[in-house]
Amino acid sequence: MLRLFTAIPIPFEVAETLGRRQTGLPGARWRSAEALHVTLAFYGDVDERRADDLAAELARIPGGAFDIELKGVGAFGDAHRSHTLWAGLEPSERLNVLAGRCKSAAERAGVTMEPRLYRPHVTLAYLKTQTNPDRIGAWITNHNLLHSPPIRIDRFGLYSSILSDDGSHYELEREYPL
């Protein structure tokens, strides 16, 4: 079984800029520049035959480059605890369409996905349970004016995710030009 997802990698120069913001919050497990991406669809555990079918369906997605822009930061969690810090994105119809096509490719390949509302973002850090909520709020306030220049998107990838004690490691399995 392979743990798969499709994503847009964040270019190195943008990841470097984000990296400068990844400080000042005890209890944050910051993501490396190589791990920064915008997930299009998370497929979960997929057997190899269906993974091949999925890869073939993804290759059929029509192309067309477009731009995205990062804007603002925030946290995912519930009323009791935040668990993830993220950078947001300006609304993008083209990004939403691409994510929808990645989901449709999974359906055609027979891959069952969890029903999730698509909320495009770049995960910056995972937070330990003891991370101080006041410090999280202060970090968000200090970095919420984040706004990147346009980022040209001309490809996306199918990635495998390997879980370890040190977090997830991502491996590009296939790349698809737009």
| Backbone angles phi and psi of 36, in degrees to 5 | -75, 130
Contact between 173 and 157 (Cβ < 8 Å): yes
Q: 2-16, 85-99, 159-173: which has the minimum mean pLDDT? A: 159-173
Q: Which of the pair, 168 or 47, is modelled with greater confidence? A: 47
| Nearby residues of 136 by Cβ (< 8 Å), 6 or more positions away | 25, 75, 82, 85, 127
pLDDT band, very low/low/confident/very high, at 110 (cuts 50, 70, 90): very high
Q: Cα–Cα distance between 13 and 4 in angstroms, integer? A: 26
What digits encode the pLDDT tens for the residues 34-65?
A: 999 999 999 999 999 999 999 999 999 998 99
Q: Cα–Cα distance between 101 and 97 in angstroms, integer? A: 6
pLDDT band, very low/low/confident/very high, at 167 (cuts 50, 70, 90): confident
Q: Cα–Cα distance between 154 and 162 in angstroms, integer? A: 26
Q: Determine the average pLDDT of the residues in 99-114.
A: 96
Q: Determine the average pLDDT of the residues in 151-161.
A: 97
Domain 2-177 grouped into CATH 3.40.605.10:
no
Q: Determine the average pLDDT of the residues in 83-90.
A: 96
Per-residue pLDDT, 58: 98
Contact between 86 and 72 (Cβ < 8 Å): no
Q: What is the pTM of this model?
A: 0.93
For the beta carbon of residue 35, count every other beta carbon within 10 angstroms.
Answer: 18
What digits encode the pLDDT tens for the residues 10-29?
A: 999 999 999 999 999 998 99
CA 29 to chain centre: 16
Q: What is the DSSP-derived secondary structure letter of residue 35?
A: G
Q: Which of the pair, 167 or 107, is modelled with greater confidence? A: 107
Looking up tokens 């925030």 gives: 74
Q: What letters, b where the CB count within 10 A reaches 16 and e where it falls short, cover 99-123?
A: bebbbebbeebebeeeeeeeebbbb
Q: Cα–Cα distance between 27 and 39 in angstroms, integer? A: 24
Per-residue pLDDT, 79: 63
